[in-house]
Structure 1
Amino acid sequence: METDSPPSESIDELRQRLNNMKKLMADRQAAQYETEERRRPNSSIIDGSFLSVVFGIALVVILTVSVYAFYNLYNAILKKFPSKHTEL
């Protein structure tokens, strides 16, 4: 019967190959991260300044509608309860 033969590569060679593979994987992940970072700003038109403008416009619209509603309410109350003039 044959016994297991020793590996054809030494431990040092295996460690070197493992380190090379780790380095290749790290380089690949770094390259993938760089391409995602480069692509990210161009992939979306919605950024912080755009959202600020949108929320600012929404705030102006809400304030305008509120002022209009309270003005109409004030006029309705004045019509319902007119002040009595005594000078006539």
Structure 2
Amino acid sequence: MSSTTSLNIDGMSADEKIEHINLLREIIRLKEQSGTGFSSQNNGNKKRNIISGTVMSIIFVTCFVLVVAMAFYSFRTLYLAIQKKFPTPHSEL
């Protein structure tokens, strides 16, 4: 696997790696303080989503209730059709 970075990390000593990490942390901290960092940019561009979790929950519950109601109606209709096709004989009359 070839690496296209300009920094040879494998050839660096442990102290050089620690110094490089500390330098990157300092750069990130300075960017966040100045307002040009990634976290500051995301906060300003955050749009409110139209479909929130509450709306999705309501839609899911509504669909679930409709499916259960249709299943109940279908089985009830099937039961009544079977009862009509094969009535139970009454011997008391």
Q: Which structure has the larger Rg over C-alpha atoms? A: 1
Identity %: 32
**What's the TM-score once normalised by structure 1's chain length?**
0.62
Residue 47 of structure 1 pairs with residue 56 of structure 2? no
* Structure 1 residue ranges without an equivalent (≥5): 1-21
Q: Match for residue 31 of structure 1?
A: 40
User: Structure 1 residue runs of 4+, over 6 Å off?
Assistant: none
Q: Which has the higher contact order (CA 8 A, sep 6+)?
A: 2
The match for 1:65 among 67, 70, 74 is 70
What whole-Å deviation, never above 9, does each CA across 1:8-62 have from its counterpart, x for those lacking one? xxxxxxxxxxxxxx43x443024312213xx33x2x2101110000000001100
What whole-Å deviation, never above 9, does each CA across 1:53-84 have from its counterpart, x for those lacking one? 00000011001101100100000110111000
Q: Match for residue 84 of structure 2?
A: 79
Q: Secondary structure at the match of 2:72?
A: helix
Distance (whole Å) between structure 2 residues aligned to residue 87 and residue 58 of structure 1: 47
Length, aligned pairs only? 64
Q: Match for residue 18 of structure 1?
A: none
Higher percent of residues as helix: 1
Q: Secondary structure at the match of 1:57?
A: helix
